[in-house]
Amino acid sequence: MCGSVIKIFLISITIIIGNVASLVVVAQPTKTNTMAELTVDNDITFHIDRYYSSGITVSLYSDFIKNSPINMILLPNGNNEINYYSLSITHRMYTPERTLTPDVQTYDHPYAAYLLIGNKKISFNSQARIKKTSMLEFGVIGKIAGGEVIQNRLHENISFAQVSKGWHNQIQNDICIQYSVMYEKGLLNLPMFEINGLLGTNIGVPHTQTTIGSYARFGFFSDYFRGIGIDISQNLNAWLYCSGSIYLVNYNATLQGGTYNQDNVHTINPINNTLIHGKLGGVVEFKRINVEYGMEVSSPEFSTAYWHRWAHLNIAFAF
């Protein structure tokens, strides 16, 4: 299975590079509006606290970020494309189902947390109805990422939450470097309904995997491939969306530990190499503000795991 997944990684990268290589690399305009975005994931909405327990990403989009040298190794932009550049900070935490015991939960998800700083580039081609996203992230996984402090301090101030007692068993400190690519293509585009396909790859730590899926939405919205919504429209837009993806997973550091430091108290091997992921929600967008709320669900990541779901909130604004 591992060999077949690696082959799919290589095929995916070849397809993506093949598509972008056919475009002429020229200097293209960058959108000048500065935008800020906050994304929060948490399973507390469903009164559970396990597996992917919490995630926060803060992103800043600005014209000055196009001067970052990291952009040189991100996907090149082609003719007739609009580009966006952003910097982000991502923090994610993972726990087993039973968090009130200090003992190792041998057949459950290890405690894990990682912190990443990313440089991302997004290119929109409205004529070809293509969106390309590429990103390079650096960071750490382990105690240094602060999962124990953040979760337990937060739980101390929530009346119905309890402090987790097993964080000393978490995945140990290690380095994270991850390169990500996402290629989206419009498949069906009607005035109030659209379907887009997607193909993506993450290579490195904490995740090495390929994603294949589609995204559909229904309602009132601006053309997806003209640019980020709050940057291209001042109208009132609202829509419902759903997406489905298959993850072909080769490596997951939150389960298997880092690549350099193997001195972990608890890891899970083997992991499930094929995952199903779904997302359902709604978006309201007015002038320079965008609010999205939805639910995500994922199939079991290892043999003794359950399906897991969590809530997703995204707030973005331009100024």
pLDDT digits (tens, 9 = 90+) for 176-207: 999 999 999 999 999 999 999 999 999 999 99
User: What's the CA gap between 266 and 20, in Å, rounded?
Assistant: 41
Residue 30 or 26, more confident: 30
Q: How far is CA 145 from CA 42, 94, 173, in A?
A: 18, 12, 8
14: pLDDT strictly greater than 80: no
pLDDT score for 31 = 58
Predicted local distance difference test score (pLDDT) of residue 6: 43
Per residue in 131-155, pLDDT (tens digit) is 999 999 999 999 999 999 998 888 7
Mean pLDDT lowest for which of 10-19, 128-137, 241-250? 10-19
What residue spans define the domains of the chain? 2-318
* Interval 229-253 mean pLDDT: 94
For residue 71, pLDDT over 90 is answered with yes
Architecture of domain 2-318: Beta Barrel (2.40)
- Per-residue pLDDT at 32: 60
Task: Look at residues 19, 22, 42 and name the one whose alpha carbon lies nearest to residue 92.
Answer: 42
Residue 233 in this model has a pLDDT that exceeds 60: yes
Q: What is the pLDDT of residue 237?
A: 96
User: Is 23 a residue whose pLDDT tops 90?
Assistant: no
pTM of the model: 0.88
For residue 98, pLDDT beyond 70: yes
State the pLDDT at residue 287: 87
Q: Summarize the confidence of residues 75-101 as an average pLDDT.
A: 94
The per-residue pLDDT for range 50-70, each reduced to its tens digit, is: 999 999 999 999 999 999 999
CA distance 187 to 165: 48
Question: What is the predicted pLDDT for the residue at 29?
Answer: 55
State the Cα–Cα distance between residues 15 and 4, nearest whole angstrom. 16
Indicate the pairing of strand 274-286 with strand 289-298. antiparallel
